A and B are shown apart, each in its own frame.
Chain A
Amino acid sequence: MKVASISSTAIDTKSKQDELEKGTSLWADAASRMKKKPVAVVSFWFVAFYLGLALLCALDLIFTSYSVVNNDIAYQAPTWAHWFGTDVFGRDVLARAAHGTVTSLTVGFFGAGIAMFIGTFFGAIGGYFGGKIDDLVVWLYTTVDTIPGILLVVSFSFVMGPSLKTVCLAIGLTAWVGHCRIIRGEYIKHRDQDYVQGAAALGAGHIRRIFLHILPNVFHLILINFSLGFVGAIKSEVILSFLGLGVEPGTPSWGVMINDAKQELFRGVWWGLAAATIFMFFLVLAVNLFNSELRDALDPKLKNK
């Protein structure tokens, strides 16, 4: 609102201190808004909790029993010793679900990260330069977009053989299209804006304009899309496991656990499914909620005018 900006920008021109006044960047501003929102704060701590959990598991500091096989106690229902029971090999389901966090976060970060990197790169150069380069970028992403993502992922996995690396790469190489489309649109919008034209008039080259000027102004969208991609990648891993194209056998993964429930459920073994679903639910929900709050807080349209 215009009304708000007038009263909040009453600036004291007579300030005689020697030190420069501290400015509040839009990022700092967004962070301070986020801190005021309970949903944002809670979901942030949830995500942080998962990160901590994954780190400790990856370093083998907690839930070290996840791969201890004990056939005597196979398919045990939840007890005080095993909160989520045991699986077919008598391994502790809770420990496996906890270690599944490592797999899921890896898939989420690398899958979405690769997609973000490719999508941003192509989107930026296509949108910024336009013309033939843009035609090529549009052709590329339209092509990849017409091939249904899941089949493309399947084909990749098929070609590369199932492994955690394959899952990340397959998801990354297919999911960039959405990013690319959005980032390209933003670059088209920004490249003609006065602040970029002004930089050009001052002699700033293409690289400077693309990375120093426009990129920071679209970065919030990259961030929002990254978190959407993150969630998407985690969910894709489950489907890939179902199709037998998931991680290497033996690696703890929520996808494998959910998938195993196909047979287990009808034998009354529900705890594997429950553990994986609960672990995944809170992570994905926290990321989704945080993302939705982030979107509100970062929207620069609410500022300025």
Chain B
Amino acid sequence: MLKFAIRRTLYMFPILFGIALVTFLLFNVAGGDPAAQAAGKYATAEKIQEMRESLGIAGPLHEQFFGHLKQMATFDFGRSWSTKQTIRSMIFSGIGASVSLMVPVYVISLILAISLALLVAFLRGTFFDGATLVVSLALMSISSLVYILAGQYFVGYELGLFPINGWDSSLIARWQYLVLPTLIFVVLSLGSNVLFYRTVFLDQMYQDYVRTARSKGLADRVILFKHVLRNAMIPIITVVVTQLPFMILGSLLLESFFGIPGLGRMIVDAIQSSDFPVIKAMTTITAILVLVFQLVADLLYAVVDPRVQVR
């Protein structure tokens, strides 16, 4: 197991290098001179040079690349252009809000989708199954932006059930601001989630071992909840873990619309104000985070699936 873990960890380095390369090419090489754009038409040469330096695009390319690698290694991405704060401190102050939104959202939508998918798999071939399929596809055919707008307008504004906007630094008083975004996210992600998990379950239901289980006289219920679920959990765990870091981005729209001071809103603000260092930092950091979670997923996979030969 240890050897497998080491081998798998070492495999991260070429990818890390790849991430460094892609972000570098994107922001330092192809990006032209964002400093000139950002500094405005009437900026002085000194001003532009200063901005270039803050971006790390002042020297020759190879020096720039090493600077970029250094940033990645030290997690020091400099300061934001618009807020002038260090990016590191901005991330630390935003992470709490993001987590307190995304954890309940993720857990609720996951449990709901998996239970619904199990039910549909159990009732496969019935009217209920067909109806769920069509409803799920319909839910997927509406833009997530529409869910948010409609949710805010009807539930928040017209019915006045929950505040549309706002935040509270106390964890407990925060809940009222979280209900509506949670609700909206659960609905907007339900369709594709149910379809995905249904496919995973159905794949398993046609395996030979299910026939064996039936030949033993086990009830369908037992087969589904013991045999099928345990096998299906293997791909599900992988997907769930690898998707975790993307949750930061999933909350991008929600945070921005509901005024939640998290990382998602930080990215949206940065994009809208052309805040280059923040975008570059967030792109790099999220990529590294994804890489780490992929590693975790692979290690977990080796633990939950007895067939994986750990060498």
The size class of the interface chain A forms with chain B is 35 or more
Q: Give bound CA distance, A125 to B158, whole Å.
A: 56
Residue A130 CB within 8 A of the other chain: no
Residue B241 CB within 8 A of the other chain: no
Asked if residues B26 and A159 are in contact (CB atoms below 8 Å), the reply is: yes
Asked if residues A142 and B15 are in contact (CB atoms below 8 Å), the reply is: yes
List residues 152-211 of chain A with CB under 8 A from any CB of chain B.
152, 154-156, 158-159
Q: Give bound CA distance, A258 to B22, whole Å.
A: 32
Total of A-B residue pairs, C-beta within 8 Å? 121
Q: State how many angstroms separate the Cβ of A200 from the closest Cβ of chain B.
A: 31
A277-B143 contact in complex given A146-B290, A155-B27, C-beta closer than 8 Å: yes
Give the contact stretch, choosing among B59-67, B112-120, B166-174, B281-289: B281-289
A151 touches which of B31, B274, B279 (Cβ 8 Å) = B279
Asked if residues A147 and B19 are in contact (CB atoms below 8 Å), the reply is: yes
Residue B44 CB within 8 A of the other chain: no
Q: What 1/0 flags go to A245-259 for Cβ under 8 Å of B?
A: 100000000110011
Residue A51 CB within 8 A of the other chain: no
Asked if residues B290 and A148 are in contact (CB atoms below 8 Å), the reply is: yes
Tell me what chain B mostly uses at the interface: helix, strand, loop, or mixed.
helix
Asked if residues B138 and A285 are in contact (CB atoms below 8 Å), the reply is: yes
Determine the chain B residues whose CB is within 8 A of the CB of A261 once the complex forms: 149
B140 touches which of A243, A273, A288 (Cβ 8 Å) = A288
Q: What 1/0 flags go to B235-265 for Cβ under 8 Å of A?
A: 0000000000110010011000000000000
Residue B30 CB within 8 A of the other chain: yes
Determine the chain A residues whose CB is within 8 A of the CB of B15 once the complex forms: 139, 142-143, 146
Q: Give bound CA distance, A168 to B206, whole Å.
A: 40
Q: State how many angstroms separate the Cβ of A276 from the closest Cβ of chain B.
A: 8
Q: State how many angstroms separate the Cβ of B23 from the closest Cβ of chain A.
A: 7
Asked if residues A151 and B145 are in contact (CB atoms below 8 Å), the reply is: no
B246 touches which of A148, A156, A238, A262 (Cβ 8 Å) = A148
Q: Give bound CA distance, A69 to B97, whole Å.
A: 44
Residue A31 CB within 8 A of the other chain: no
Q: Give bound CA distance, A150 to B252, whole Å.
A: 10
Asked if residues A154 and B157 are in contact (CB atoms below 8 Å), the reply is: no
Residue B268 CB within 8 A of the other chain: yes
B residues contacting the other copy or chain, number (CB 8 A): 47
Residue B291 CB within 8 A of the other chain: yes
Asked if residues B286 and A292 are in contact (CB atoms below 8 Å), the reply is: no
Chain A residue with the shortest CB-CB distance to B271: A243
B18 touches which of A143, A262, A289 (Cβ 8 Å) = A143
Q: Give bound CA distance, A258 to B133, whole Å.
A: 26
Residue A244 CB within 8 A of the other chain: yes
A152-B283 contact in complex given A242-B253, A266-B153, C-beta closer than 8 Å: yes
A156-B286 contact in complex given A143-B18, A147-B19, A277-B142, C-beta closer than 8 Å: no
Determine the chain B residues whose CB is within 8 A of the CB of A289 once the complex forms: 134, 137
Residue A213 CB within 8 A of the other chain: no
Residue B294 CB within 8 A of the other chain: yes
Q: Give bound CA distance, A259 to B294, whole Å.
A: 34
Q: What 1/0 flags go to B117-141 for Cβ under 8 Å of A?
A: 0000000000000000110011011
Asked if residues B272 and A244 are in contact (CB atoms below 8 Å), the reply is: yes
Taking A146-B19, A238-B145, A239-B143 as known contacts, 7 extra A-B pairs with beta carbons closer than 8 A to each other, sorted by chain A number, are: A148-B286, A150-B249, A152-B283, A156-B26, A158-B271, A235-B143, A285-B137
Binding site for A on B (CB under 8 A): 14-15, 18-19, 21-23, 26-27, 30-32, 133-134, 137-138, 140-146, 149-150, 152-153, 157, 245-246, 249, 252-253, 267-268, 271-272, 274, 279, 282-283, 286-288, 290-291, 294
Q: List 22 A-B contacts (CB under 8 A).
A: A140-B18, A143-B15, A143-B19, A145-B290, A146-B15, A148-B290, A150-B249, A151-B283, A152-B26, A155-B27, A159-B32, A231-B141, A238-B144, A238-B145, A245-B271, A258-B143, A265-B149, A273-B146, A273-B149, A280-B141, A285-B141, A292-B133
6 closest A-B pairs (Cβ-Cβ)?
A143-B18, A284-B141, A285-B141, A146-B290, A238-B143, A147-B287
